[in-house]
A and B are shown apart, each in its own frame.
Chain A
Amino acid sequence: MNSNRDLQGTFHPASAPDYLPLPQLRQLQLQRLQSMVQRAYDRVPLYRGRMDERQLTPADIRSLGDIVRLPFTTKTDLRDTYPFGLFASPLQEIVRFHASSGTTGKPIVVAYTQEDVRDWTQAMMRSFLACGLHSGDVIQNAYGYGLFTGGLGAHYGAEALGAGVIPISGGNTERQIMILKDFGVTAICCTPSYFIHLIERAREMGVELKTLPLRAGVFGAEPWTEGMRQRIEAETNLKAYDIYGLSEIIGPGVAMECLHQSGPHIFEDLFYPEVIDPSSGEPVADGVEGELVLTTLCKRAMPMLRYRTRDISALHEETCACGRTLRRIKRISRRTDDMMIIRGVNVFPSQIEAALLAVEGTLPHYQIVVDRVKGLDELEIQVEVTAEFFGDTVGALEQLRQRLSHAVERVIGLRARVRLVEPHTLQRSEGKAKRVLDKRKL
């Protein structure tokens, strides 16, 4: 369609930082890290307190290696400082809020200044460029719009690229397929499991995805596998690319695969990666699996110093055939905590437990069952009926079921099916309840 190589994903001026010579990149990272630490120390009491405890000042960060002297930041810190406690910018400079699941009832809040939104837009634009998208592409953005960072993050990047964005958001699979076909969509953004659901639904509807101009899928927001990639690519003509990100750092666009599909490149001029042993907190050698830790190098509204992502990955230093000097991470396929990702939404069992407890004042015996039916995640909560809950009429039990279901939905933002079961039917292992049964096969 377009013979200009600059528009074929091989090079675009916005992608220039992807190719910085290493010494220059490291120099840039150090400068940015130093000012980020200074900003965090000056403006966020939590960071200052923790650095003071270690008798550490921003001036002690003299090399990138000194980053290990900084304390870690965890999701609990975001929860404990809810809602605005980690902000480093005054509220009048905040132009955007997003929120995602905390570990219990309260969400965690993230914020952006105008410059942060600009950086994020650039990171997402570079993500699209990395997989060969350019102006003229039609991008169907099926990530959810709203408090979730996926929708707006991808939207801004695609628009900045000059692509045509279809802000369809998540859900309504039939309409997704109709638009995919009728609008000549060339790229789609969604979770990989949702795309598999789309493939299966399209087949039932008699839509042959292979005949469409769809050539790239930007898939992320949940762990997936090489097997899923192979299946998607076998059943369509698109290439499936892995995008990585998390709200605490910025949203999608922290790392993205290039045309070589050999693991997402971290946009290292914006985010500094480390991999540590999750139990000791010590760095692991290159290529060795551990917990990914990220430090924001430019985020103004909410700097994150050594944020423990709980995602298991590894850092690859070898140069990629694409020529980018950015290191690559191994695709995330599991986590160090019990967080589940259901339809792209982060869910902690503790949130569900808190919701169930709130309904009747006592905690029923329950089990969370996650399954994937036709590519779509389904969440079912089985609750054992006890004498206190049992009301003799169908209406009373249906009401209980709905109250439980609404309570869970209010907390996690996802619809959960509640199934009432007879007492003593849920699995208990060694007397301890097995709370989560994840039947999904990735």
Chain B
Amino acid sequence: MKLKQLSVFLENRPGALSGACRGLADAGVNLITLCLADTQQFGILRLIVRDWAKAKEILMARGAVVKVTEVVAVEVPDRPGGLADLLEVFERAGINVEYMYAFTVKQEDLGLLVFRFHDPDRAVAALQAAAVKVVNEVELFRRFDL
């Protein structure tokens, strides 16, 4: 039920992000979604791609520091309160969200979010118990093939 995400350490300087993206582009790797966390000094680029192992290899060959982490993709109704309702599931279960970002695609009236938890398995269990749809890898990539 979990997805692999790549995190890349970047210095906060012109060219740091474009270099990483160009490397992936040249190898024909498409980015399904990404998010960039930044501080004054450095940034962390987080990526979801289809073939994470290949992307990792490409980035590491460029000298980048890459970490693979597990994240959870969750469907959320695209209406006011959709996210708030979802977050209450975590709150009730005492689960802390480390960070989150969104996929750019939408299916009907459902949006898709990426969550990073300290303990993703516990989060998945809590979501399933609350009957919230967790999108697995197969399902995710199928949607992107449409």
Contact = CB atoms under 8 A, between A and B. Distances in A.
A422 B39 contact: no
Contacts, number: 50
Interface string B1-17: 00000010111000010
What does DSSP make chain B's interface, helix, strand, loop or mixed?
Answer: strand
Interface in B37-79: 37, 39, 41-42, 44, 46, 63-67, 69
Contact of B44 (A387, A393, A424): A393
Contacts of A98: none
B99 interface: yes
B98 interface: yes
Contact of B65 (A394, A401, A419, A422): A422
A227 B46 CA distance: 51
Contacts of B16: 422
What does DSSP make chain A's interface, helix, strand, loop or mixed?
Answer: loop
Given A393-B99, A422-B16, A387 B39 contact: no
B65 A385 contact: yes
Contact of B9 (A385, A401, A419, A424): A385
Contacts of A419: 41
Interface in B5-39: 7, 9-11, 16, 37, 39
A388 B98 CA distance: 20
A337 interface: no
A273 B98 CA distance: 64
Contact of A398 (B10, B39, B99): B39
Contacts of A401: 41
A60 to B, nearest CB: 61
Interface residues of A, number: 18
A392 B7 contact: yes
Contacts of A413: none
A392 B64 contact: no
A390 B69 CA distance: 12
Contact of B42 (A392, A420, A423, A424): A420
Interface in A409-431: 419-425
A37 to B, nearest CB: 55
Given A386-B65, A422-B16, A422-B65, A393 B10 contact: no
A415 to B, nearest CB: 16
A404 to B, nearest CB: 13
Interface string A186-215: 000000000000000000000000000000
Nearest to B20: A422
Interface string A237-252: 0000000000000000
Nearest to B99: A393
B11 to A, nearest CB: 5
Contact of B63 (A390, A391, A424): A424
Contact of A394 (B44, B66, B69): B44
B36 to A, nearest CB: 11
A89 B39 CA distance: 55
A422 B44 contact: no
Given A392-B7, A394-B39, A423-B64, 14 more contacts: A385-B65, A386-B65, A390-B9, A390-B65, A391-B67, A392-B44, A393-B98, A393-B99, A397-B39, A398-B39, A420-B11, A422-B16, A422-B65, A423-B65
Interface of A: 385-387, 390-394, 397-398, 401, 419-425
The 10 lowest CB-CB distance pairs between A and B, nearest first, are: A392-B7, A424-B63, A390-B65, A385-B9, A394-B37, A392-B67, A385-B65, A392-B69, A422-B11, A390-B67
14 contacts: A385-B9, A385-B65, A387-B65, A390-B7, A392-B46, A393-B98, A394-B44, A397-B42, A398-B39, A420-B9, A421-B11, A422-B9, A422-B10, A422-B65
